[in-house]
Amino acid sequence: MAKMGQRIGVCLWFDGKAEEATRFYVSVFKNSKLGTITRYDEEGARASGQPKGSVMTVSFELDGQEFLGLNGGPLFKFTEAMSLVVKCETQEEVDHFWQGLTADGGQEVQCGWLKDRFGVPWQIVPTVLPEMLQDRDPEKSRRVMAAMLTMKKLDIAVLKRAYEARTAA
């Protein structure tokens, strides 16, 4: 009997770039690996319009989280209606993922959001941010929100200064 991995996973639909994208993601995230690559057979190629023998799916793990990349063709595009969230403990982690995922044509968006070169939306979020935004003191959370709205890549030190009502050192 096949071993069941995590119950809920994510399938990312690419237009011919699933293998390239998954190799890129595995290079950005530590503790990650490529899994099985399946290819379109004659029937699958006929049904999907993809070339016989081309990559159909690539399974992969990013820091223990299972994903599937699918070469489904040009029919669907990624939107910010669904994004991948990376929780970061330190500014060093924020910087690492921000730089890695925006490399080679990625796009900085706003408030910790970016799109990588494949069009996949990501949120790079310091773990302290939700705590500060949910503070019982509405003035503290308001200041943090105001500071965050001025940023593309989030800066933990600036967010903490806003939270503590301190000016730049």
The verdict on 34 and 61 lying in the same domain is yes
Last residue of a domain, one of 26, 43, 71: 71
pLDDT value at residue 161 = 97
Q: Is the pLDDT of residue 169 over 60?
A: no
The verdict on 15 and 66 lying in the same domain is yes
The verdict on 129 and 152 lying in the same domain is yes
The verdict on 158 and 88 lying in the same domain is yes
pLDDT value at residue 6 = 84
Band (pLDDT 50/70/90 cuts) for residue 18 is very high
The verdict on 54 and 114 lying in the same domain is no
CA 49 to CA 32: how far, in whole Å? 31
Is 3 domain-assigned?
Answer: no
CA 31 to CA 158: how far, in whole Å? 30
Output the domain CATH number for residue 132.
Answer: 3.10.180.10
- Across the beta sheet with 113-115, the strand order is 84-88, 121-126, 113-115, 107-108
Question: Model's pTM, two decimal places?
Answer: 0.92
Is 26 domain-assigned?
Answer: yes
Residues 6+ apart with CB under 8 A from 131: none
CA distances from 88 to 11, 16, 34, 112, 156 (A): 23, 31, 23, 11, 10
Is 2 domain-assigned?
Answer: no
The domain of 140 spans 84-163
The verdict on 92 and 64 lying in the same domain is no
The verdict on 34 and 98 lying in the same domain is no
Is 52 domain-assigned?
Answer: yes
pLDDT tens track for 35-90: 999 999 999 999 999 999 999 999 999 999 999 999 999 999 999 999 999 999 99
